[in-house]
Copies of this chain bind each other. A is one copy, B any other.
Amino acid sequence: MTQKLPQIFGTSDSVPEVVIARLPQYIRALNKLNTSTTTVTNSRQLGEMLQVTPAQIRKDLSYFGRFGKQGRGYSVALLLEELKHILGLNSNWNVIVVGMGRLGTAILSYPGFTPDGFRLVAAVDSDQNLIGQVIQGITVKSSDDLSQIIRDHSIDIAIVAVPIEYTQSVINSLVHYGVRAILNYAPISPHVPDDVRIQNIDPVLSLQSMTYYLNN
């Protein structure tokens, strides 16, 4: 399927997705270390905190550069900055919540949902009873105005928490209006074009696979 083109252009070899997925965890560990008096850490310590091997941490970091000092380890503050930079967490990302039922409301209200770099700036729903309500300082708008809202707020990321039967079409609209990153809470795997990132939060799948191990 995927054409194996020779690397004619200077494109650097792409970093495996699993590696990218681990970086936020490294950032968390470093944040934790950073508050205390620690200024230096190493792959063994980070590995213990995150339950991964030291070699994996070193290998992961090596995709992006050489951030450590041999014989010493890593500067906590420096490595933290580097990783945030790599993930783009120094920028500001504008986030919309689509669907303000119980779940959407919980998301908007949960402070942990806006770590450094993210701003919840808009919320929409199709229910007249919800439109106009103010939740956490954000006025719920009509989903009829989605296109306008996305443009006005320069939305980068959409969190979708609408009923399953509307999910695919809502996501189609978001993609059409230019949103390229979606966090989906409906228990389906919506189809999106290749240039759009989607992550599904689907706790029921996790429950259903755990029961296998309870039996076996």
* A214→B102 contact, CB < 8 A: no
Expressed in whole angstroms, the Cα–Cα distance for A184 and B205 within the complex equals 14
CB distance from A158 to the nearest CB of B (A): 11
Is there a chain B Cβ closer than 8 Å to A40's Cβ? no
Q: Does A87 contact B (CB under 8 A)?
A: yes
* Contacting residues, chain B, for A33 (C-beta < 8 A): none
By a CB distance below 8 angstroms, the chain B residues around A93 are 211, 214
CA distance A214 to B154 in the complex (A): 13
Known: A181-B214, A197-B213. A208 touches B24 (CB 8 A): yes
Is there contact, CB below 8 Å, between B191 and A51? yes
Residues in chain B near residue A203, CB distance under 8 A: 113, 183, 199, 201
Contact of A208 with B103 at beta-carbon distance under 8 Å, contacts A25-B189, A93-B214, A215-B88 already known: no
A214–B27 CA distance with the chains assembled, in angstroms? 18
Cβ of A106 under 8 Å from chain B: yes
Does A212 interact with chain B (Cβ within 8 Å)?
Answer: yes
Are B112 and A209 in contact, with the CB atoms below 8 A? no
Instruction: State the CA gap A210–B192 with chains docked (Å).
Output: 14
Contact between B183 and A112, CB atoms less than 8 A apart: no
Min C-beta distance of A49 to chain B, whole Å: 9
Q: Tell me if A23 counts as interface (CB < 8 A to partner B).
A: yes
A65 at the interface (CB under 8 A from B): no
When the two chains form their complex, are residues B204 and A24 in contact, meaning their CB atoms are under 8 A apart?
yes
Query: What residues of B have a CB within 8 angstroms of the CB of A95 in the complex?
Result: 207
B208 contacts A27, C-beta separation under 8 Å: yes
Confirm or deny: A74 has a beta carbon within 8 angstroms of a beta carbon on chain B.
no
Assuming A181-B211, A214-B93, is B204 touching A201 (CB within 8 A)?
no
List 3 A-B pairs, minimum CB-CB distance, nearest first: A24-B208, A199-B206, A88-B215
